[in-house]
Amino acid sequence: MKRLTLSLALVSLLIACSDKIEGPVYPERQVNLPPIGQTRTISGHIRFAGTAPKSRDIGVCQGSNLPIPNQEVRVENGKLADVLVYIKSGLDKYTFPYNKTPAVIDQIGCIFEPHVLAVQTYQPITIKNSDPMVHNINFGSKLAGQSFVATLTPSQGSITHQVRKEEIGINVTCDIHAFMLMYVHALPHPFFCVSKADGTFVITDLPYGEYVIEAIHAKLGKQTKKLVVTQGGASTSLEFVFGS
């Protein structure tokens, strides 16, 4: 009974911490968009070179007793998922409107869905718990004012958070289930994508210009390429190759 009382007290304390999370705010700013029609689509795929790591389980989900697969390096037919592809530099003269459509993080079977999430700064992130057990979200930003800890019970609904400063590679974990891990990236513009299970990515409506485009995988590192976007074609295709 003493242990149960202590656990409930801990949950109550963490829920209290979650009440301090502020709702979405959108400071006024002047929008400066590129000329209409002077854009291109950038697409491509991420290839994995070498032998793909063997799948292994890293834990068991409390309640369902289902094994938890390791999602750190997901390779399918030589193609790599969960790579952030984004414009690293070249957009300084533009200012883009806020994306007010909430992105969603859910917890299903003691797994964060998705494993990698990319959002614009100030875009709302709705965090849900679809599991029958309690989860304790630890949003581990390294920048002041962007981290938080909050408990989500099965009946609590959801909480909403904003990342208001640009940051790459925010670790999100569960303090109750140590094997739960995902990554959040926040960019000040909309020109980014996370590669799908088949390794593909698409970035639409990129203005004409000269850029540095970067691909980042949480475990396999990062790569950059120079990119020139000009009139004279429907799209530009790129390939990034990572290895173990």
Count up the domains in the chain and report the number. 1
Exposure string over 135-159, b if 16+ CB within 10 A, otherwise e: bbbbbbbeeeebbbbbbbeeeeeeb
Percent of the chain with pLDDT over 70: 89
Q: Domain span at residue 118?
A: 2-243
Higher pLDDT, 232 or 109: 109
Of 134, 131, 133, 136, the residue nearest 109 (C-alpha)? 131
Question: How far is the C-alpha of 231 from the C-alpha of 134, rounded, in Å?
Answer: 53
Average pLDDT value over all residues in the chain: 88
Model pLDDT for residues 7-36, shown as the tens digit of each residue: 434 444 444 344 345 678 999 999 999 888
What average pLDDT does range 154-174 have in this prediction? 94
What CATH number did the domain enclosing 75 receive? 2.60.40.420
Confidence of residue 234 (pLDDT cuts 50, 70, 90): low
CA 33 to chain centre: 25
Binned at pLDDT 50, 70 and 90, residue 154 comes out as confident
Of the pLDDT bands very low, low, confident and very high (cuts 50, 70, 90), residue 37 is confident
The tokens 């981290």 sit on which residue? 147
Tokens of 135: 């989860």
Give the per-residue pLDDT at 20. Answer: 45
- Nearest Cα neighbor of 119 from 75, 162, 82, 81 is 162
